[in-house]
Amino acid sequence: MFPVSSAPVRPNRWMLKSKIHRATVTHADKDYEGSLTLDKSLLEAADIIPYEAVYIWNVTRGTRFHTYAMEAEPGSGVVCINGAAAHLAGPGDVVIIATFSWLDEAAARRHLPRVVLMAPGNVIAQVKHSERPGPYHGPGEGP
């Protein structure tokens, strides 16, 4: 028989750790083994390390997939989709790249993700720790 406890069970929560918002795919290589190759500067800005799992949401095509990150030369602007995932994104597509982390209840309540906003040419426009909820689009709109 299992012991019975009156203490509430607090599960860990799966929280957004970081994201690179609206990067532009520069390359797609179907013949590579797999993964997402990213400019080292983007990895560092988003606190993503090589071989960390990443989720990729293609804004242009509406596809979603996950793989792992690999490092490209810093300052190169490279966002290369490799392997089978290259069927789901191609050069010029706009993507969102996200990572998640399990946090206990207390840490989850304090947590703020790292959000890297991109400018044209895969240049970092801003790094922040919050997001404005939709459907607002322009400066000063919404809460």
User: What residues pair up with 21 in beta bridges, in sequence order?
Assistant: 96, 117
85, 29 Cβ separation under 8 angstroms: no
Q: Which of 5, 18, 32, 35 is catalytic?
A: 35
Measured at the CA of 24, the angle between CA 99 and CA 74, to 5 degrees, comes to 75
Q: Which of 68, 76, 101, 136 is catalytic?
A: 68
- The secondary structure element, H or E, covering residue 45 is helix 40-45
How far apart are alpha carbons 19 and 48 in whole angstroms? 9
Instruction: Let me know if 68 is a catalytic residue.
Output: yes
Instruction: Let me know if 35 is a catalytic residue.
Output: yes
Q: Which residues are catalytic?
A: 35, 68
